Structure formats: structure tokens, C-alpha cells
Amino acid sequence: MAWLPGSRQISAIKAAVFAFALLPFLRLAWGAFSGGLGTNPIETLTRDTGWWCLFMLLATLALTPLRKLAGLHWVLRMRRMLGLYAFFYGALHFTTFIWFDHWFDLMEMFKDVIKRPFITVGFIAFIIMLPLALTSTNAMVRRLGGRNWQRLHRLVYLVPVLGVLHYWWLVKADVREPLIFGALLALLLGLRLWWRLRDRRPGLAQPSVR
């Protein structure tokens, strides 16, 4: 029998996850302030915010498999928070781009977005995250209706795919890290596909309810 935390425990876990997910930001902020981000601090900021955005996206996508495979239903209660953290780091990443790379010159920025495929896909990923973040509140779920809301939020599967592509197209020769991110993503999405196909097959028992 999987562990079932009570509501107070859930709150405590949420608070802990919130704090842990905030740590990278605090570390970067402190590093930027104290000169602790290495020789090229702007590169560090840019790369790390993108890295953590991908990390949070994968963490968000890992919750459903965790629920199904380990029977930990309560982990889904972390999903909105982790998703919003992905948006948070994505927004910081976008900020480094428009600030440090383009010095807030919007025209130049859009030229870059159109001209360079790796930026194009990164930008699209960020734009997709916007409506998801904006409609993440309970009130918005009610306003849109559960079904519409869910349809909209399926877009979330696209974001890390674009994110991995963005990273893959950026690196010069060493593709190990994008490859690892990509493999994890393929696993998380592959599991979903497998479950879908399995559950759809006629004549088989419905998925067991745990």
C-alpha cells in the first residue's frame, strides 16, 4: 500500500518542494550579486535558467508516471507548482535573452527569433507556456470548464520537446546533455503513449484503479 499523507503532511511536502525549487534561483541571485557565477556570469545565468526550466518541465511530466507506477496519487498535487516553476525559470531565461543579448531592443530580438531556428523553437516554447501559466488558477479552470482547460493544457507536452530541440541546436559539438534530457523526455512521453495504446486495445480489462 502506497503511503498516503494527510492534508497537513501534504502542505508540509508542498512547502518543502517550493523551497527546493526556489533554491536554484536564490543561488543564482546570490551568485550574481557576489560575483560567484564564474568568469562569464551572463552565460552562466542564461544557461542555468534554461537548464532549470527544462528540469522543472521534466519534473512536472514525471508526476503522472510516478502516480501510476508507484501508486503515489498525491504527487499530482505538486504538479501545478512545478509547472509554474518551469514557467518561472523559462521567464527568467527569456529575460536574460532580451536583456543581455539584445539590451531590450525588441526589433533586434524579433529578427533573431525569426532568423535562428534554435531561438525560434525556444521562443515558441515560451509563448506556449504563457497561456498555461495564466490559466493555472482554480478560478480559470472553472471559467474555462474542465474539458477546455484540459485540452489547452495538453500543450504542455509540446514545451519540453521544443526545449530539448532548442538546447540540441545550440550546443557546438558536445550533445551529451541535450541527449540525456531528450532520453528522459522520450521515456516520460513514451510511457504515456504506451499506456494510451494499451488502454485503448479492445477486449482487455480496464486499467486497474488503485
Partner 1 sequence: MLIKKPTYHDDILPSEITPRDLYRRRREFLKQAAALGLAGTMLPQSVRAQTAAPVIEQGKLAKLAGRASPLSAKDKLTPHKDVVTYNNYYEFGTDKHQPAQYAHRLRSRPWSVAIEGEVKNKGPIDIEDLLKLAPMEERIYRMRCVEGWSMVIPWVGYSFAELVKRVQPTARAKYVAFTTALQPDTMIGLRLPVLEWPYVEGLRMDEAMHPLTLLCFGLYGEVLPGQNGAPVRLVVPWKYGFKSIKSIDKITFMESMPKTSWNVSAAHEYGFYSNVNPAVDHPRWSQATERRIGEDGFFTPKRKTLMFNGYAEQVAGLYKGMDLKKFY
Q: Which residues bind partner 1 (CB under 8 A)?
A: 24, 27-28, 31-32, 36-44, 47-48, 51-52, 100-101, 103, 112, 116-118, 169-170, 172-174, 176-177, 180
Q: Using the structure block, give the residue that is written with the C-alpha cell 536574460.
A: 96
CB of 73 to partner 1, least distance (A): 29
**Measured CA distances, 146 to 50, 80, 140, 154, 196 (Å):** 31, 15, 9, 12, 20
CB of 60 to partner 1, least distance (A): 18
Q: Are 60 and 17 in contact (CB under 8 A)?
A: no
Query: 88-105 burial string, b = 16+ CB within 10 Å, else e?
Result: bbbebbbebbeeeeeeee
Burial (CB count within 10 angstroms: exposed 0-12, middle 13-18, buried 19+), residue 106: exposed
